[in-house]
């Protein structure tokens, strides 16, 4: 049964009062929280971090909307559509694997968790490789056109987050391999949140870069 924010605040206050002990030697008040309350605070803090990241990516999306247009409407860079669909599918599949692994660790299925997160890490590398390959065959360089500049900026900023996410997932996979997760698996949840966030960003970037608008013909 869930507890509302108001109820939680009251409960937190009770526990805080119950554990608000006075350290006679150092003159400090020590407030102890239950593991459940700590988890709730971790979640809130991580979501606030993700919201701050949302501002960054929203700004980039707005820049794309404002800059990539001409008298005929929206424009877009000339990209390989099949490759775009392929890497988008791979990232979606990795998000599914992460969720599958998160379910597994919450049920104590460590082997399934390791397999699922391992597969997601591999797919993260494949996605990054696909983006790098798209850079190598791109028709516009960043200095040649605004479409090229936005393409490299958007995919570069996103790829930077994907690489960070891969590092995060590898650390969590290794901790799982060592058997460091039990009913307390906040590390798994946090890495999953980050990876899904990167996926949500790509949901919009894929549409903005590959699907909306027409390829302009530069004279």
Partner 1 sequence: MTDYNFYQDASDAKPKREPLTGYALSIAIAVALFALTFLEYFVATTDDLPIFSSNLIPLVVIALVKAALIINYYMHITRIWSLNEDGH
Q: Which residues bind partner 1 (CB under 8 A)?
A: 1-5, 8, 11, 36-37, 40, 43-44, 47, 73-74, 81, 85, 88-89, 92-93, 95-96, 98-100, 102-103, 106-107, 192-193, 196-197, 199-200, 203-204, 206-207, 210-212
Sole residue written with tokens 């790509």: 202
Minimum distance between the CB of residue 133 and partner 1, rounded to whole angstroms?
Answer: 19
Closest CB to partner 1 among residues 104, 150: 104
Residue 75, strand partner residues: 214
Minimum distance between the CB of residue 180 and partner 1, rounded to whole angstroms?
Answer: 19
Closest CB to partner 1 among residues 24, 183: 183
Minimum distance between the CB of residue 24 and partner 1, rounded to whole angstroms?
Answer: 32
CA distance 46 to 73: 38
190 close to 175: Cβ distance less than 8 angstroms: no
Do the strands 21-22 and 69-70 form a parallel or antiparallel pair, or are they unpaired? unpaired
Minimum distance between the CB of residue 17 and partner 1, rounded to whole angstroms?
Answer: 18
CA distance 97 to 95: 5
- Residues making up the chain, counted from first to last: 219
């Amino acid at each position: 049964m869930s507890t509302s924010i108001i109820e939680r605040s009251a409960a937190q206050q009770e526990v805080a009062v119950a554990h608000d002990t006075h350290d006679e030697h150092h003159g400090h008040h020590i407030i102890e929280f239950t593991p459940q309350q700590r988890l709730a605070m971790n979640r809130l803090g991580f979501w606030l971090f993700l919201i701050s990241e949302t501002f960054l990516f929203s700004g980039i999306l707005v820049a794309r909307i404002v800059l990539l247009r001409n008298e005929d409407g929206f424009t877009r860079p000339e990209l390989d559509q099949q490759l775009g669909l392929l890497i988008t599918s791979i990232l979606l599949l990795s998000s599914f694997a992460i969720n599958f692994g998160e379910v597994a660790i919450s049920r104590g299925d460590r082997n399934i968790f390791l397999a699922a997160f391992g597969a997601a890490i591999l797919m993260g590398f494949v996605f990054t490789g696909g983006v790098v390959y798209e850079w190598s065959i791109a028709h516009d360089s960043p200095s040649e056109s605004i479409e090229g500049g936005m393409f490299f900026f958007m995919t570069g900023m996103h790829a930077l987050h994907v690489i960070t996410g891969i590092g995060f997932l590898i650390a969590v996979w290794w901790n799982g391999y060592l058997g460091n997760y039990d009913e307390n698996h906040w590390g798994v949840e946090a890495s999953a949140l980050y990876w899904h966030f990167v996926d949500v960003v790509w949901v919009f970037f894929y549409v903005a870069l590959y699907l909306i608008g027409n390829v302009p013909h530069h004279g």
